[in-house]
Structure 1
């Protein structure tokens, strides 16, 4: 009974995350009207970091040196790099294509899990992954008017981002399974959020843009929604999903 309850919960979480992350690609595209790709990626990290900062302050003494290292790796590979890669890619490719290519994540999770994290999978896990991949290819084919032509260089950035996600899913399941999903998300952003904040405030044009052009505030609102709902809160839920299910399912 408990196993069935967890399965139902996992599917509900997965469906909700699909809706949230599907809209995230649209928000990234809208944010790029006002900011550069680097600014969008780093602001996404900074705003998520600031949202989760109160939790980090309360729990920072409970994090060991070993956990600090693992959480830093998770934050860099699973959040910072994908945020920058998706933003850069969407300066050229559409949000729809970015979202579709993102569905490669389960396939890469399976491959990396089997070869590097000793992940054991059942035949229906593999079948489900390849069915999802086939569906993604079909969506790209149909949405492109039966002509699979797109900028392969920028599309590769999305593929690289999905590899980062896949690594992070397996990494969390293997090395951070003893921490709560809230703690994992909070400190993943804590360690990358500090340098990202310094860069945005001192080395970027973001403060100047916000002061000189009030329309830029619209882009900041898009990024605030993306960061709080589509990143921080979504990752807390997603990390919970990783803990109660398999990496391939998540």
Structure 2
């Protein structure tokens, strides 16, 4: 299958997986703290990836390991904790919407720090998608005045981390196998995640039924939503562009909103309009 067709399949699959991640975080926070959730997410992912991809680590050169470590910190470690902390105050749908700032940050960072060229239609598409995101955010805020929107800044910071990550991969690891990058990422993060989990008091509450149920949700999040999804995402970056790859964050809120509806979160007609505008932005940002 040609890369042009394949990139859309990857984009759709990732939007479904990552769009479901926010409701899993919400369910996981019922029995876990944000630090415990972020640590378990990383640990489940690391164990899964090392089991299936340890042989791929031998393909990494010494010079590539420093960039694998950098992408691990920006693309996985920091965002895993920031999203968990954010969802202690704002709902999963709003978090998913704010995550759609990633393509805009990717384009800005790519131009300023990495010298990445861009097309006029990419910039227009991202602006349109951003307008749709603003509609969703402000409408969500008006419907949830009890939420602390200062925590939304954590999601914005996470989107900047993601933007840094995709530009690093595109510039310094463009030919490295996605499984090698992903497995290397989580091998680097395993020890810090275990230490944070140990000092979080997790082992004092592990026997509680609600904790074990939450662990089940985070196991799914870690293995599918982080481990498998990262492999697909790195491949998408390599066969497309950083801006197109991060346009998945425009589709994520749509999936997240439908999960939110099932969990009794509010979805208004204006939010539906915002989602449609976002889709237009995705199309324009990827159009030749």
What TM-score comes out, normalization by structure 2 length?
Answer: 0.80
Task: Pick closer, same or farther for the CA change 1:152–1:215 going to 2, 3 Å.
Answer: closer
- Specify every segment of 5 or more residues in structure 2 that has no aligned partner in the other structure, as ranges: 246-288
Give the aligned length: 245
CA displacement, residues 87-135 of structure 1 (integer Å, 9 cap, x when unaligned): 0111001111100000000000000001111111111111111111111
In 1, Cα distance between the equivalents of 2:59 and 2:236? 23
1:249 paired with 2:244, answer yes
User: Is the contact made by 1:185 and 1:235 (CA closer than 8 Å) also made in structure 2?
Assistant: yes
Equivalent of 2:74, from 58, 74, 77? 77
* 2:113 matched residue in structure 1: 116
In 2, Cα distance between the equivalents of 1:7 and 1:148? 43
1:225 paired with 2:225, answer no
1:66 is displaced (CA, Å) by 1.6
* 1:184 matched residue in structure 2: 181
1:59 is displaced (CA, Å) by 3.3
What TM-score comes out, normalization by structure 1 length?
Answer: 0.92
1:214 is displaced (CA, Å) by 2.6
Give the root-mean-square deviation of aligned CA atoms. 1.8
How do 1:185-204 and structure 2 match up within 5 A? 185-200=182-197, 202-204=198-200
* 1:27 matched residue in structure 2: 24
* 1:126 matched residue in structure 2: 123
Q: Secondary structure at the match of 2:170?
A: helix
How do 1:1-250 and structure 2 match up within 5 A? 5-145=2-142, 151-200=148-197, 202-211=198-207, 213-250=208-245
Q: Secondary structure at the match of 1:248?
A: helix
User: Is the contact made by 1:78 and 1:164 (CA closer than 8 Å) also made in structure 2?
Assistant: yes
User: Is the contact made by 2:56 and 2:179 (CA closer than 8 Å) also made in structure 1?
Assistant: no
Q: Secondary structure at the match of 1:179?
A: coil
1:149 is displaced (CA, Å) by 8.6
- Specify every segment of 5 or more residues in structure 1 that has no aligned partner in the other structure, as ranges: none
